[in-house]
């Protein structure tokens, strides 16, 4: 049924009167799924005021009581797992198994945040001087907000939401306007938790809504995930307004294949990394760098893996790759390929839009392998965010590392080898925040920070785990002296 999406503010579902709306389309079928309102600044203000009003009581709620809501949320997410995964596939296009995978990752973050009574503890040292003690405590920051991208509509809000709440903050989520239905359903589950009104709020919208968040004086901390251009904007504008901010940006992830790599494992894993979620993962392998004799066998095997990938509607069994998010995205990807070919790159397989029988309105792109990329060319440098793997051939691991370290991004770098020495050299020298050794998508578990370097990240503390606890708390240091003659009065 076609839905008009609403905001959730101060414990109430609210229409956004007179707001412009966008259509939310199923990228595999073209079907209209929902209308999403583009909230003006007044809606952000309403959410920020509600969150600010809820903060004093929520921060006084003991951590052990706060996490009870998260235990309940975990149960509700599990009970509604299949329905939520189906919504992700319908609005985003990724196949159902991938949708389930991201939902599992979301739930893992709830589990980790349930440990906040341990993780939020401070430090205490007696006798920093005779009879004087010093300790550091962690207190919540206040009203926090997250601005999320389209490609993980469930997982990415959960890099932040559970930690923000567990630490005693109140919170606003602004989902992607392209995939807003998942968080709408999640918020219905959150509504059933019985949290005090204003502790969690959802505001739909796009750039105007985001800028209102960045400028709002009550919002103290902002987390962002999306493209590098917008991440840079978020980081500078939020910081200029005195906010704590972390902004994760785009990527161009290289994977090195050495001649001693296990070829069949490597090919399977690299193909899953490059073509999984139709290449719309910030950890998708985008450039394979083959070293020496790895060149010909890898090219042959990856060509075959791409050609045999089953493309279609992600709700149908047996489908291995869905569409890209919009027709505009498909045009952008095909345009990049055209220009790459003019720059001298060779198409090994794919390179075109794909028509899937029964889903002629879907935004499908053929799984594509393109080789002989000139290292400085646009296709070798720019994030494609589609099912395209570029291949570059070099002679040595040093050449490959130089290529990686000269790139603009630093989200992930992977190496396939059977040599421990090569692996150590690689993890030591590669300029990237997430490293995979014989791994194609080195996505950190919830108890590790989701790292990212260079133009893939602006800030210092990352999402998830201990970093999230540090980001969502501010430290207070107390030095205490209690004169000993005071105790003699009793």
Residue 323 binding ligand NAD, by CB under 6 A: no
Q: Comparing C-alpha atoms, which of 175, 207, 145 is closest to residue 36?
A: 175
Residue 213 binding ligand NAD, by CB under 6 A: no
24-55: b or e for each residue (b if 16 or more CB lie within 10 Å)?
Answer: bbbbbbeeebbbbbbbbeebbebbbbbbbbbb
Of the candidate residues 26, 39, 151, 253, the single one contacting ligand NAD (CB under 6 A): 151
Min dist. Cβ of residue 178 to ligand NAD (A): 6
Pairing of strands 388-394, 285-291: parallel
Q: Binding to ligand NAD (CB under 6 A): which residues in 261-320? A: 282
If binding means CB under 6 A, how many residues of this protein chain bind ligand NAD?
A: 29
Of the candidate residues 227, 316, 326, 438, the single one contacting ligand NAD (CB under 6 A): 227
Min dist. Cβ of residue 463 to ligand NAD (A): 7
Of the candidate residues 164, 210, 334, 413, the single one contacting ligand NAD (CB under 6 A): 210
Of the candidate residues 16, 70, 114, 225, the single one contacting ligand NAD (CB under 6 A): 225
Residue 198 binding ligand NAD, by CB under 6 A: no
Closest residue to bound ligand NAD by CB: 226
Residue 456 binding ligand NAD, by CB under 6 A: yes
Distance CA 141, CA 298 (A): 50
The secondary structure of 30-68 as a DSSP string is --EEEEEE---HHHHHHHHHHHHHHHHHHHHS-HHHHHH
Options 144, 167, 282, 414, the catalytic residue: 282
Of the candidate residues 102, 108, 383, 470, the single one contacting ligand NAD (CB under 6 A): 383
Distance CA 38, CA 41 (A): 10
Q: Which stretch binds ligand NAD (CB under 6 A): 118-126, 146-154, 291-299, 414-422?
A: 146-154
Q: Comparing C-alpha atoms, which of 262, 192, 277 is closest to residue 416?
A: 262
Which residue intervals of 388-453 are DSSP H helices? 397-405, 420-429
Told to judge if 282 belongs to the known catalytic residues of this protein, a careful annotator would answer yes
- Phi (first) and psi of residue 483, to 5 degrees: -55, 135
Min dist. Cβ of residue 140 to ligand NAD (A): 24
Helix (H) or strand (E) holding 392: strand 388-394
Chain residues binding ligand NAD by CB under 6 A are 147-152, 174, 176-177, 206-207, 210-211, 225-227, 230, 233, 248-251, 282, 383, 385, 411, 450, 452, 456
- Catalytically active residues are 282
């Amino acid at each position: 049924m076609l839905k008009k999406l609403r905001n959730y503010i101060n414990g109430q579902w609210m229409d956004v009167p007179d707001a412009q709306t966008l259509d939310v389309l199923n990228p595999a079928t073209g079907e209209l799924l929902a209308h999403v309102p583009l909230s003006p600044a007044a809606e952000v203000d309403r959410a920020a005021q509600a969150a600010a009003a809820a903060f004093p009581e929520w921060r006084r709620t003991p951590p052990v009581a706060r996490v009870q809501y998260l235990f309940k949320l975990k149960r509700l997410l599990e009970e509604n797992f299949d329905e939520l995964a189906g919504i992700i596939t319908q609005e985003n296009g990724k196949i159902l198994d991938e949708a389930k995978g991201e939902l599992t990752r979301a739930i893992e973050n709830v589990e980790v945040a349930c440990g906040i009574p341990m993780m939020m503890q401070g430090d205490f040292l007696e006798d920093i001087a005779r009879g004087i003690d010093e300790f550091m405590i962690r207190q919540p920051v206040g009203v926090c907000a997250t601005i999320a991208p389209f490609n993980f509509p469930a997982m990415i809000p959960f890099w932040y939401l559970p930690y923000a709440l567990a630490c005693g903050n109140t919170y606003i989520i602004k989902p992607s306007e392209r995939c807003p239905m998942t968080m709408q359903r999640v918020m219905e589950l959150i509504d059933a938790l019985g949290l005090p009104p204003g502790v969690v709020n959802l505001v739909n919208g796009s750039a105007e809504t985001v800028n209102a968040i960045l400028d709002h004086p009550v919002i103290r901390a902002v987390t962002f995930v999306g493209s590098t251009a917008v991440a840079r904007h978020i980081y500078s504008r939020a910081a200029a307004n005195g906010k704590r901010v972390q902004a994760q940006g785009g990527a161009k992830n290289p994977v090195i294949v050495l001649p001693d790599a296990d070829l069949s494992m490597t090919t399977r894993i690299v193909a899953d990394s490059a073509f999984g979620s139709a290449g719309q993962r910030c950890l998708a392998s985008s450039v394979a760098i083959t070293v020496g004799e790895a060149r010909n066998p890898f090219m042959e095997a990856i060509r075959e893996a791409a050609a045999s990938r089953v493309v279609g509607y992600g709700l149908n069994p047996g489908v291995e790759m869905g569409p890209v998010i919009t027709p505009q995205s498909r045009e952008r990807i095909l345009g990049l390929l055209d220009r790459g070919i003019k720059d001298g790159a060779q198409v090994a397989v794919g390179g075109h839009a794909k028509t899937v029988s029964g889903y002629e309105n879907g935004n499908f792109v053929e799984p594509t392998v393109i080789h002989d990329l000139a290292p400085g060319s646009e296709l070798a440098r720019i994030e494609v965010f589609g099912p395209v793997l570029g291949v570059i051939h070099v002679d040595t691991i040093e050449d490959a590392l130089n290529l990686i370290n000269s790139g603009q991004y630093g989200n992930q770098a992977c190496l396939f080898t059977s040599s421990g020495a090569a692996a150590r050299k690689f993890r030591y020298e590669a300029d990237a925040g997430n490293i995979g050794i014989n791994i194609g998508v080195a996505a950190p578990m919830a108890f590790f920070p989701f790292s990212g370097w260079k133009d893939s990240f602006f800030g210092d503390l990352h999402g998830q785990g201990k970093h999230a606890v540090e980001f969502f708390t501010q430290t207070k240091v107390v030095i205490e002296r209690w004169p000993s003659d005071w105790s003699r009065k009793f």
